[in-house]
Amino acid sequence: MINITNTGGAVTFDVRAVPRSSRSEIVGEHDGALKIRLASPPVDGAANAELVKLLAKHFGVSKSDVEIVAGETSKSKRIKIANLSQSRFEELIK
C-alpha cells in the first residue's frame, strides 16, 4: 500500500523512479512507494521533468501543482501534488 499524507488540499507520497526505461508509465506500488518508469535519462533534470509531466497528466492537474519535495537526485523521491484529494488519488492509481 502506498504511504499517502493528505495536508491542506495536497497529497504527498513516495515515488520510486526508474529512468532509462523503454517508455514512461506508472507501474504500481513497490515497498510503500509508487513505482514509475521514465524514458528520460537522469541527466540535467530530464527524468525529473518527465516525472512531473507524467504525474500532472495522469492526475489531471497542472505541472505547477506537482512538486518534488525530496530526493531530486535520487531514485526515491517524495512528491507533493496540490489540488488533489486523497480519495481522487486512490481512485486514479488503481
Residue 10 CB neighbour total at 10 angstroms: 16
| pLDDT by 10s per residue, the chain, length 94 | 888 999 888 999 999 999 999 999 999 999 999 999 999 999 999 999 999 999 999 999 999 999 999 999 999 999 999 999 999 999 998 8
Which pLDDT score is estimated for 8?
A: 86
Nearest of 46, 43, 47 to residue 19 by alpha carbon: 47
CATH H superfamily, domain 4-93:
YggU-like (3.30.1200.10)
Q: What is the C-alpha to C-alpha distance for residues 46 and 1, in angstroms, rounded to an integer?
A: 28
Q: What is the Cα–Cα distance from 88 to 61, expressed in whole angstroms?
A: 12
How high is the pLDDT of residue 1? 85
- Please list the residues that pair with 30 across neighbouring strands: 33
Q: Among residues 76, 32, 29, 86, which one has the least CA distance to residue 51? A: 76
**What pLDDT shows up at residue 38?**
96
Q: Which residues lie below 8 Å from residue 8, measured CB to CB, with a gap of 6+?
A: none
| pLDDT at residue number 81 | 97
- pLDDT (0 to 100) of residue 94: 80
